[in-house]
Chains A and B, each alone.
Chain A
């Protein structure tokens, strides 16, 4: 018998919304959390705006030892994982730990702390032969991205498959997708799935400056992330984490869990074209959408909302519009499609998981979050992007897509626990 996968808990650390209620409030109000960078002095950089989290580790229940040991992105993940487990009502101590897994994504891992310490050991970049003594004792945990899943697994008490996925901007979708397959194929009954990144540091901002991928609307940060709008000029870097607690359906039902939604399909393909470039036709993203829908056994007309990658680069928005049209055909014109990056920015590997949390909340609340800042249509982007205001809608199933680094294209399908037929 085919195993099914329920989402029974959610946790979010997002710019402008720490915790699920604040996050959902931000999205449904259509507020933006983009602002001038405060995490470091951005003078001299091309893009000086970001979507930052006002995160207080102590308020999130993290003790001083954890805060010292764990990099910022790991702290986000710990907070989100604890919120997801708490909300699920799962008594973890009563479970078989060997049947609990963790699968978390991150695009850049501990690079923020790596940079921070690099500055110390290199006398501010003045020499190649760095010195050892100034380095922090936990620096190896920043160097080793598996620290992400490892810290969360220890915190939760997981003993099953523990994985960290680093596929650039699709890391979040891919981590949740692999976690979905881990439960569906029987390697675990419960998986803490999600992603985290805290990339707002000089080196990462400089990286995106160098390829002119980020917005330079420095004088108007609140309106800088403008997916699908004709006046968009790049993405706005963000940070954060989200965790979805995935649970085998019968396991969830047997304990009377509140089933938020069902995870139904996942697929990922590469464009084999360019590390940061996209093909015009969107064929590979379309392939991912088709495979995810096929696995979900959901017809394209059953999709009631598309959560877009919607980064706000011209190349992406056109590519993605083409891909959705290619897969959904005429139905694409009837489906609302929005980008929450307009509000919370693009947190690289984390955003895919944050977007899946938004999809789960959309299914739960029958509300489609808007694309903030969308004012002027681009003739090449002619779908319904849900401008500025959230919209009520009866949702059966939703599709979330992601695209980016390495040419990777991913798609995840979630469904309402009762409404969607199989």
Chain B
């Protein structure tokens, strides 16, 4: 399959918007990521404090009203607030808006896993506590997974192809593949990304069935992938949105290229044990590199999935070794999310955002809280590392068995 868009050109990232536990806005996020700051902390949301989950990455001080009009905010859940705000930041960054003459030229795709849990719980309480007639008209549009794509499309007047992927954690990378192929079929640009807000009480109860969820009480020890103390992952909320664009369309309107989408591939290895993800993830990496026409030696940094479960960490280390060969032992590997948690499908979108910023700055950010790495990987711990970066590999595996790999190049990383 060709890696190029409709005009035979490349697909590029021209805008980026981040709402994360360690920073609302792209610059605060990057600053915290680069410093390796850990913001994991006790779960403080109303109704959540007595539950067995003790540590998570909460987005504090988020006020969407400066970015999104009230009429959208009242009819949507927090996960859509994150998505609309991040999309607005990305669109501002890309200086992109709808051309009324060509309304079908811009599409939207988001990934989601937990839906509008807080809004939905409120309406369930109305229904069961009071009666059917107390369920409000916005429940039908706020709770379900398609809410963010629909509202971003409406707010921006984007009538191009719209998509919603509920592909577990890997969905945050799959949106890049989806966007690139949509552009390949003739769309100029796609607003793409993922956000999650899984920290409402009932949503937390639903997650307790995941054996991978960390129930540790001490924030600095709750999420320690690749170490002997790995005890699962700490969940988080937030996410990132991007403007993904056909390079020639971006050039025509004078947009700045922040990164190049090189390649993407995904596989499935099920929920029968993390050992199986080794082969699936290795195949996804090879597929993404092939699509990007890259050799393993070209990979300058790996943003790891870093689940924090010993069997899964081992499988990931082996998958990297299988796919990258000799390069695996020397390539810098990082997992900034150990500092702010794993926001389900938005986790990999945040990794992609960190990768774009790392490529721009020539800096591999560290893996907060992680010190003694027990695998044969060069995991960057402690301080950020300045390196010349042209190609980043971003990995994700989902709790329902999907594995995805994404290759991003710096804006001058022409191949």
A contact residues around B160 at 8 Å (CB): 269-270
Contact yes or no, A159 B268, CB < 8 A: yes
B401 at the interface (CB under 8 A from A): yes
The contact of B162 among A132, A211, A408, by CB within 8 Å, is: A408
Give residues 159-177 of A contacting B (CB, 8 Å). Answer: 159-168, 174
Contact yes or no, B135 A207, CB < 8 A: yes
B231 at the interface (CB under 8 A from A): no
Q: 1/0 contact trace for B112-141 toward A, CB 8 Å?
A: 111100001101111111111101110111
Contact yes or no, A154 B162, CB < 8 A: no
Known: A126-B129, A139-B206, A154-B272. A162 touches B266 (CB 8 A): yes
Chain A interface category by residue count: 35 or more
Contact yes or no, B113 A284, CB < 8 A: no
Contact yes or no, B135 A206, CB < 8 A: yes
A contact residues around B203 at 8 Å (CB): 143
Contact yes or no, A118 B124, CB < 8 A: yes
Contact yes or no, A158 B268, CB < 8 A: yes
Contact yes or no, B132 A44, CB < 8 A: yes
**Chain B interface: which of A250-258, A272-280, A317-325, A326-334?**
A272-280
Contact yes or no, A142 B202, CB < 8 A: no
A108 at the interface (CB under 8 A from B): yes
A65 at the interface (CB under 8 A from B): no
Query: How many pairs, one residue from A and one from B, have CB atoms within 8 Å of each other in the complex?
Result: 260
Bound complex: CA A267 to CA B400 (Å):
28
Known: A150-B270, A202-B127. A405 touches B207 (CB 8 A): no
B154 at the interface (CB under 8 A from A): yes
B382 at the interface (CB under 8 A from A): no
The contact of B399 among A132, A137, A144, A210, by CB within 8 Å, is: A144
Known: A159-B269, A405-B144, A406-B162. A203 touches B208 (CB 8 A): no
B contact residues around A207 at 8 Å (CB): 123, 135, 139-140, 143
Give residues 52-104 of A contacting B (CB, 8 Å). Answer: 98, 102
B contact residues around A130 at 8 Å (CB): 47, 121, 201-202, 205
B52 at the interface (CB under 8 A from A): yes
Contact yes or no, A142 B270, CB < 8 A: no
A407 at the interface (CB under 8 A from B): yes
A364 at the interface (CB under 8 A from B): no
Known: A108-B144, A132-B205. A122 touches B135 (CB 8 A): no
Nearest Cβ in chain A — how far from B109, in angstroms? 10
B131, closest chain A residue (CB): A44
Q: Which of B150, B171, B283 is packed against the most chain A CB atoms within 10 Å?
A: B150
Contact yes or no, B206 A167, CB < 8 A: no
A contact residues around B156 at 8 Å (CB): 272
Contact yes or no, B166 A287, CB < 8 A: no
Contact yes or no, A210 B136, CB < 8 A: yes
A contact residues around B166 at 8 Å (CB): 106, 109, 145-146, 164-166
Contact yes or no, A405 B135, CB < 8 A: no
Bound complex: CA A210 to CA B104 (Å):
32
The contact of B205 among A121, A167, A211, A271, by CB within 8 Å, is: A121
Q: Which of B107, B146, B154, B283 is packed against the most chain A CB atoms within 10 Å?
A: B146
Bound complex: CA A271 to CA B159 (Å):
5
A140, closest chain B residue (CB): B209
Q: Which of B160, B271, B283, B400 is packed against the most chain A CB atoms within 10 Å?
A: B400
Q: 1/0 contact trace for A208-234 toward B, CB 8 Å?
A: 111101000000000000000000000
A115 at the interface (CB under 8 A from B): yes
A142, closest chain B residue (CB): B206
B contact residues around A44 at 8 Å (CB): 131-133
A288, closest chain B residue (CB): B161
Bound complex: CA A273 to CA B167 (Å):
27
A contact residues around B265 at 8 Å (CB): 187
A107 at the interface (CB under 8 A from B): yes
Contact yes or no, B128 A270, CB < 8 A: no
Nearest Cβ in chain A — how far from B237, in angstroms? 15
A contact residues around B11 at 8 Å (CB): none
A147 at the interface (CB under 8 A from B): yes
Q: Which of A144, A145, A147, A210 is packed against the most chain B CB atoms within 10 Å?
A: A144
A contact residues around B209 at 8 Å (CB): 135-141
Contact yes or no, A274 B154, CB < 8 A: yes
Contacts from B to A (Cβ < 8 Å): 1, 46-48, 50-52, 75, 98, 103-104, 107-108, 112-115, 120-121, 123-133, 135-137, 139-141, 143-147, 149-151, 153-154, 156-168, 171, 174, 181, 185, 201-203, 205-210, 265-272, 280, 283, 398-402
- 12 extra A-B contacts, CB within 8 A, seeds A118-B121, A167-B149, A270-B160: A132-B51, A139-B206, A143-B114, A146-B171, A146-B398, A159-B269, A166-B144, A166-B165, A206-B135, A210-B140, A406-B150, A407-B154
Contacts from A to B (Cβ < 8 Å): 44-46, 98, 102, 106-109, 111, 114-115, 118-119, 121-122, 124-126, 128-132, 135-147, 149-150, 153-154, 158-168, 174, 178, 181, 185-187, 202-203, 205-211, 213, 267-276, 284, 287, 405-408
